[in-house]
Amino acid sequence: MSSLAQEKKYKKIITILSIVIPLAVAALFGVNLRKLGFNVEPLTFLPPIYASINGLTAAVLIAAVIAIKKGNIKLHEQLTTFAIGCSLVFLFLYIGYHMTSDSTTFGGDGIVKYIYYFILITHIILSVVIIPIVLITFMRAKLGNFPQHKKIAKITFPLWLYVAITGVVVYLMISPYYV
C-alpha cells in the first residue's frame, strides 16, 4: 500500500476519533453514576492526579522537542508516544472523576474569575482541536513523511503544550473550591 493510500486510510480513522472522543467525553461528562442510583464512591482524589499527568505531559513534550533538536529521533518518538499515552490516561481519569463526583464551581470573583474562565474555555476548545492535529502529526511521522510531520509539529507542539499547562493552571485555580 502506498504512503498516500495509507495516509488516506489513517485520516478516516483520525476523523472518526476526532469526532467520537469529544462527543463521548461530553456525553459521559453529563452522566453522574451516583445520581443514577449506582452505589459508587466519588473519585474525589483524582483531580490532583490528572493535573499532575497534565504537568508530566508538558514536561515530556518539552523533552521530546529537545530530543529531536539534538537529533535523537528514537527518544523523540518514545517521548511523543508516552505523551499521547499520558493524554489518554488523563482522559480516562477525568471522565471517571466527573462520572462519580459533583462538578465544582469556581468561587473566585473579580478579574480572577474572568482570567479563570478565559483559561478554562481556551483549554477546553483547544483540547478538542488538538486531537486531530496530534494524530495527524503522529501518523505522518509513523508513515515516514517527515517534511510534513515537521511542518505540522510546529503547530502541534505549542497548542498541545498550552493544553497541558492550562490543565494544571485550571486545577490550581479551582482546587481551593473542591468540597
CATH architecture of 44-177: Up-down Bundle (1.20)
Q: Which amino acid is at 42?
A: P
Q: 107, 169, 162: which is closest to 129 by C-alpha?
A: 162
CB atoms near residue 173 (< 10 Å)? 19
In tens, the pLDDT along 86-100 reads 999 999 999 999 999
pTM of the predicted model as reported, rounded to 2 decimal places: 0.92
CA distances in angstroms from 135 to 10, 71, 74, 103, 128, listed in the order given = 9, 22, 18, 30, 12
Q: Percent of the chain scored above 70 by pLDDT?
A: 99
Q: Per-residue pLDDT for 171 more than 90?
A: yes
In tens, the pLDDT along 120-170 reads 999 999 999 999 999 999 999 999 999 999 999 999 999 999 999 999 999
Q: Are 152 and 133 in contact (CB under 8 A)?
A: yes
Domain ranges of the chain: 44-177
CB atoms near residue 52 (< 10 Å)? 15
Distance CA 157, CA 168 (A): 17
In tens, the pLDDT along 23-77 reads 999 988 888 898 888 889 999 999 999 999 999 999 999 999 999 999 999 999 9
Question: What's the confidence (pLDDT) of residue 34?
Answer: 86
